[in-house]
Chains A and B, each alone.
Chain A
């Protein structure tokens, strides 16, 4: 059950119905709808079209997700101890991993989704939280919250997804904290590198 929610935790998003108010909500919905259109495109079905499907979804996600900000949050308080070069390396490496694991989850989960309700929106200065509920075909209702930040160019971008109370950033932060404390920062980087290369 819990394993299921954490799985849900990296992914779920993407199907839409009914919306109200607010630019952040509109942005989330827009991205969601676009991804869904790609996933439902009859000419992009099957394993043979996987790369093309991924390529198109990636373009849509890159517009809306701030992978670098997410990666930064995942390192937590260890961030401050890294040099500028290490920070750059980490963000580039982990942002890549995050995006890929996001993409991987579509294949598994989006088929279970029936509709998405956009429930509520909170804005605090340049931050926003968009509360949605994913209604599955099995008639379960999973709360999914998107956290966004307004960037310099006035664009709202998602930095965290919280599913059933499980924040993607916090979950990785807890893992990284453990790995760094047990081995070292270098050990963590090695681990991420090996995972990124095996996903190629």
Chain B
């Protein structure tokens, strides 16, 4: 209990300072990255190249704190998350863990439905509703995905993406302990998504509201063991690599 209290306090303080820092720093970079002319390397499809859009560095006014939490998360992965996930992987067969992963995603339907609607994507909201109906019934509570066979494809949507669509700037980059890479906007998005997660409403003292998120995290990690290790192996500054990828993938999500 105390842990959560501490965590929420530190989250709150962090958010406050980040918001303030974000206001200061959201300014386009003056210095053009301009690799297309100075390196002789030209990429006509790189629309960000040489533009005045912030590339990540300018949005990371809290870099020392973010780097610190990045390291904390790195330790948490190797010392806690990885061993526990590996343990789960040895006890529970992969198809079961995959089914559980699907069920978690299925239950988070309200996030996708509401955000598809907020983004004016009626088709997306319809597909997600179709998926929910088919997978919750014929798919045994979402453990299986018969909807995919009916060509009812996933239409993911989240609140950060919705805010981006409404032209809200990302604000400062934030690397939260446990949660990982985010931004001021991403944090608000995360809170919005949490409010649309069914087990949030089980009540403050209900064990399930605390038990499910870590369970999902461990289960999902058990299906992706080795990926973080590979990330570290293929990058020279994993912190920068993740930050850069965060902004670029969020930008892409906002285009969809």
- In the bound complex, residues from chain B placing their C-beta under 8 Å from that of A72 are 39-41
- Shortest beta-carbon distance from A144 to chain B in Å: 11
Interface check A138, CB cutoff 8 A: yes
* Bound CA span A78–B41, Å: 11
Known contacts A2-B242, A6-B242, A77-B33, A104 near B234 by CB under 8 Å: yes
Chain B 63-100 interface residues, beta-carbon cutoff 8 Å to A: 98
12 residue pairs of the A-B complex, CB under 8 angstroms, read A3-B181, A3-B228, A77-B33, A77-B38, A122-B45, A124-B45, A164-B253, A166-B248, A175-B240, A175-B244, A177-B57, A191-B236
Cross-chain contact B244 with A174 (CB below 8 angstroms): yes
Interface check B129, CB cutoff 8 A: no
- Shortest beta-carbon distance from B139 to chain A in Å: 12
- In the bound complex, residues from chain A placing their C-beta under 8 Å from that of B168 are none
Interface check A169, CB cutoff 8 A: yes
Interface check B9, CB cutoff 8 A: no
Q: Smallest CB-CB separation from B48: which chain A residue?
A: A170
Task: List 17 other contacts, CB 8 Å, given A77-B33, A166-B245, A179-B236.
Answer: A2-B242, A3-B180, A7-B234, A73-B39, A73-B43, A79-B39, A80-B38, A138-B98, A139-B145, A141-B153, A165-B251, A170-B46, A171-B245, A173-B33, A174-B56, A175-B236, A195-B236
Q: Mark B94-138, 1 if CB is under 8 A from A, else 0.
A: 000010011000000000000000000000000000000000000
Interface check A9, CB cutoff 8 A: yes
- Shortest beta-carbon distance from A67 to chain B in Å: 13
Interface SS, B side = helix
- Shortest beta-carbon distance from A94 to chain B in Å: 10
Cross-chain contact A3 with B231 (CB below 8 angstroms): yes
- In the bound complex, residues from chain A placing their C-beta under 8 Å from that of B34 are 77
Interface footprint category on A: 35 or more
Cross-chain contact A73 with B230 (CB below 8 angstroms): no
Interface check B202, CB cutoff 8 A: no
Q: Smallest CB-CB separation from B255: which chain A residue?
A: A165
Cross-chain contact B245 with A5 (CB below 8 angstroms): yes
Select one of A9, A104, A178 contacting B245, CB under 8 A.
A9
Interface check A53, CB cutoff 8 A: no
- Shortest beta-carbon distance from A132 to chain B in Å: 14
Q: Mark B22-55, 1 if CB is under 8 A from A, else 0.
A: 0000000000011100111111111010000001
Cross-chain contact B230 with A173 (CB below 8 angstroms): no
- In the bound complex, residues from chain A placing their C-beta under 8 Å from that of B45 are 122, 124, 127, 129, 145, 147
Known contacts A108-B226, A141-B154, A175-B236, A3 near B41 by CB under 8 Å: no
- Shortest beta-carbon distance from A50 to chain B in Å: 15
- In the bound complex, residues from chain A placing their C-beta under 8 Å from that of B35 are 73, 76-77, 79, 173
- In the bound complex, residues from chain A placing their C-beta under 8 Å from that of B242 are 2-3, 6
Chain B 118-174 interface residues, beta-carbon cutoff 8 Å to A: 145, 148, 153-154
Interface size on B, residues (CB 8 A): 50
Q: Smallest CB-CB separation from A169: which chain B residue?
A: B43
- In the bound complex, residues from chain B placing their C-beta under 8 Å from that of A166 are 244-245, 248-249, 252
Cross-chain contact B236 with A6 (CB below 8 angstroms): no
Chain B 217-256 interface residues, beta-carbon cutoff 8 Å to A: 224, 226-228, 230-231, 233-237, 240-246, 248-253, 255
Interface check A75, CB cutoff 8 A: yes
* Bound CA span A143–B181, Å: 21
Select one of A2, A76, A122, A139 contacting B33, CB under 8 A.
A76
Known contacts A101-B234, A170-B48, A171-B245, A160 near B226 by CB under 8 Å: no
- In the bound complex, residues from chain A placing their C-beta under 8 Å from that of B244 are 166, 170-171, 174-175
Q: Smallest CB-CB separation from B224: which chain A residue?
A: A4
* Bound CA span A122–B46, Å: 13
- In the bound complex, residues from chain A placing their C-beta under 8 Å from that of B240 are 174-175, 178
Q: Mark A145-174, 1 if CB is under 8 A from B, else 0.
A: 101000000000001100011110111111
